Every structure is written in structure tokens, then in C-alpha cells.
Amino acid sequence: MVILKNMILEADILITCDAQNTIIKDAAVFVSDGLIADLGQRERIHKDYSADKVIEGENRILLPGLINTHSHSVQTFLRGKADDHTLLDWLRQVVLPGEANFTPEEVYSSSLLGFAEMIRTGTTTTNDMLTSHNSDYGIKAAVESGIRTRIGKMLMDVDNDFPDIIKEDTETVIETARKQIDQYHQTQDGRIKYSLNPRFLLSCSPKLMNLIVETQHDYEDLMIHTHASESQSECIEVKKMYNDSYIRALKNLKALGSETILAHGIWLNKEEFEIIQKTNTRITHNPSSNCKLASGICDVVKYHELGVLVGIGTDGPPCNNNFDMFRDMRLAAFLQKVKHLNEQALPASKVLQMATIDGARAINWDKEIGSIELGKRADMIMIDIDQVNAMPLYDPVSHLIYSSSGKDVSLTMINGKIVYHDGHFKTIDFNKIKVATQKYQDKWEL
């Protein structure tokens, strides 16, 4: 790949997602050394800078890259293999055996396919959980794809009717995680950060949870990312195992705080909501997954009233079955309107904020990403509005949330590098992934 030192990206409409929600028409952004070096009127930017490359922006909206706060890239090969189950059956019958039986090559290709889909549909950063085994191959895929990510192996040491093969002993889990932290955390120009991913309390002993918290304290900027209070039956099982409500159990384990993000957070009592607020714990709302697994509807409005940071996640392909954040942004807005019977419950502008700057805040990365502002990393996407679904276009934010899809993304830039443009991946050999995917699919069809 040719490395360009600087570039100008033009756009008919630039949506910055800064604190003032600035939108600039006939705009351009000057990118230098991977950073946003200037932005403003197209004419002025061209007058002030000469760039190695200019990306024309006719019929294009330019906005910050989307931030997916909860994904399982490695589950992509299981897309369509676990439909119409509830959470625990879905896990025990399909997802865990599937993950457990992946070869190292399958972990790599399945993750890479997931990252390709994210990049293709406008996600520039993801908060990702891998498998217990062979997770180095998933991190390798993240490194090669060019995506920005917090990522780590799945941590679990309790079988709880889960397949034996996926269980590791407590010490091995932590030893492997620590080795991976030393190898990958804050590497690739800061694009890759490790994360500690206990799957959920049902698969983690108190001893493992204590070791995870201890490990987190030994490193800077290392987040805990786990599932919590997703389904009612899960909460009942956690109560039996930990003799406490889910969130209180996590609090007693000292696993909550501003460096923890909980996926789902649906079934909470009043006290648990207050614990989330007081500890400044972050939530990732995953609307498609919650609908498909019939888990429930997260009360995003309530979290916002409490000042809790909430990002939007897709979750994995077996429960979504897609990494297109545009689908989840739209559904996030719709679900709150229905839940609260209030059309203003979650307006389009707030949803866009959740998928950009709030997502960045929720994963403690907002100093560098989440908006198009001077000095931030150049993580941006372009939307093609020369399309039937973009006509007429009165309000670009309304278009993005209610009418667009990931297929409208024409360009994805991460860290100042174009990773996808007009149908072409720049970092990923898509034909190679196709062959690997077919090979895996053939195994099921034998």
C-alpha cells in the first residue's frame, strides 16, 4: 500500500459530531500524518494546503467513523447458524461449541471476515471479544485489517453446562491474557488496545474475576468488557451462583467503574441502576441482538437520565446477523420510542452521538476519536447520497439514522489510511476470505 503523508477529503456535507454538533456544507478536511490537521470550507482548505491526494466529495456526507461498542468478530462464520433461540440455549447449543471447534486458521478468517464487514459498513473502531482458544489469530486479523479496536481473548473458567473444550483452568486464563497484554496492548500506533473480556458471570469463578480485576490495575488504559443482565434466565442463574443480584455481584467483585463496559444491562432493579450511575460504569446497548434473542429492551432513556454513558453495539453475527451499525442505530431509536411510547425518547441526533462520540467516551477513547476535530485521529467515513434512498434530503442526520444502510458507505479511513474505497478493500484480500469462508461452510454441509 502506498503510504500518503497528507490528503484532502472533500464533502458536500461534513458532520463533525463535535460539542456544538457543527455541520459544514461544501467542506473539506486536511489529513496529515494520520491526524485531522484542519477542516472548514472546501475553498479555504484548498487554498491553504496542497495534498498528495484529494478525494472528491460531490454527493458525499463525511462523518466520524462509527464506533461499535460490542462485537464478536470471531463468530462471523456462525452467521445464520443459531437463529431463533434464547440466550442460554443459543450459547450452549451452537455458539460455544462453534467457537470451541474453530481451528487457528478459522479464528483468523472468521474474525477477518467480521472486520471486513465492519470496515465495509462504516465502522472504524470496535470493542471486540474473541474466543478462549487461538485468540492470537483473531488479534492478527485485527492488526492486518487496519481496524481500530479494543480486543482480547474470552476469559472463562467455569463449565456450567458449557462444552469442556472451551474451559481453561483459572491460572492459564490469566497467564495467557497477561502474555497477550504485553504483546499487543497499545501497539500499532495505538490502534490496538487489549481488553479483559470475562464472558459473563456464569462462566467465571469469583477467583477468576478477582484475578481479572487485579490484572486490570497493573496496566494503564485496560478496560474490562463483559456481558451482564442480558436475559432474565441468566440473572436467575447468576443469583444462584453468586447469591446476589447481577450488578451487585459485579460491584462486590470490584469489577465496576469507568474502565468497565457492560454489554446489554437490561434486567436491573432500581438499586442496580444506581450502582451503575455511582460507579460510572459504561453500557453498550445492542438492539438487534436483544430483539433476536428475545432478551428484552434496554432502558437507554433511563441510563441517559442518570448520566450513564451508552454506546451502540452490534453483538455477533449469530445473534444479529450483521455488523452494519446503521441497522442498529435505526433500531436503537425505534425501540426507545416504542418502550416509552414517546416519539422524542431517542431522536436521530442523539443516536448518531451514541454511535460516535458517546461510543468513544464509553470506551475511553474520546481524546483521539469519535468526532472530526483538530488534532484527533483521522477516522472518518463517506456516505454516498447520490442514491434513491437519499432523495429528497432535507436533514443529513435524519438520513443517516432512518434511511441509510452500511451499503451507502463509499469510503472508510482509519488512522489517516483509506481501508475501503468504492468497492475495494485496501488492507484485506477479500477473495482469500471468500475461499476460507466456503471451506468452513463446506464442513457443515458434509
CB of 227 to Zn ion, least distance (A): 5
- Pseudo-torsion of CA 62, 138, 117, 415, nearest 10°? 10
Residue 25, classified by CB atoms within 10 Å of its CB into exposed (0-12), middle (13-18) or buried (19+), is exposed
SS3 category, 409: strand
The CA distance from 31 to 365, in Å, is 19
Site for Zn ion in 249-288 (CB under 5 A): none
Residue type, 270: K
The CA distance from 279 to 35, in Å, is 33
Angle at 356 between CA 65 and CA 83, to 5 degrees: 85
Q: Name the closest residue to Zn ion (Cβ).
A: 315
CB of 192 to Zn ion, least distance (A): 20
The CA distance from 18 to 5, in Å, is 25
CB of 22 to Zn ion, least distance (A): 34
Site for Zn ion in 297-336 (CB under 5 A): 315
Nearer to Zn ion, 65 or 198 (CB): 198
C-alpha cell of residue 400: 443517516
Nearer to Zn ion, 112 or 262 (CB): 262
Nearer to Zn ion, 36 or 293 (CB): 293
Nearer to Zn ion, 316 or 396 (CB): 316
Nearer to Zn ion, 31 or 263 (CB): 263
Q: Are 124 and 413 in contact (CB under 8 A)?
A: yes
CA distances from 174 to 33, 207, 216 (A): 37, 11, 11
CB of 83 to Zn ion, least distance (A): 16
Which residues on neighbouring strands pair with residue 68, listed in sequence order? 126, 312
- Nearest residue to 325 via CA among 257, 268, 383, 395: 383
Nearer to Zn ion, 10 or 99 (CB): 99
The CA distance from 196 to 130, in Å, is 10
Nearer to Zn ion, 234 or 315 (CB): 315
CB of 146 to Zn ion, least distance (A): 23
Site for Zn ion in 194-253 (CB under 5 A): none
CB of 123 to Zn ion, least distance (A): 15
Site for Zn ion in 420-439 (CB under 5 A): none
Number of Cβ within a 10 Å radius of residue 336: 26
DSSP class of residue 237 equals H
Which residues on neighbouring strands pair with residue 263, listed in sequence order? 227, 284
- If one asks whether residue 99 binds Zn ion (CB under 5 A), the answer comes out as no
Nearer to Zn ion, 34 or 311 (CB): 311
CB of 367 to Zn ion, least distance (A): 26
Nearer to Zn ion, 168 or 315 (CB): 315
CB of 203 to Zn ion, least distance (A): 12
Nearer to Zn ion, 45 or 129 (CB): 129
How many Å is the Cα radius of gyration of the chain?
21
Cis peptide before 392 (omega within 30 of 0): yes
Count of residues binding Zn ion (CB under 5 A)? 1
DSSP class of residue 2 equals P
CB of 350 to Zn ion, least distance (A): 23
CB of 284 to Zn ion, least distance (A): 9
Residue type, 419: V
C-alpha cell of residue 148: 481500530
Interface residues toward Zn ion, by CB under 5 A = 315
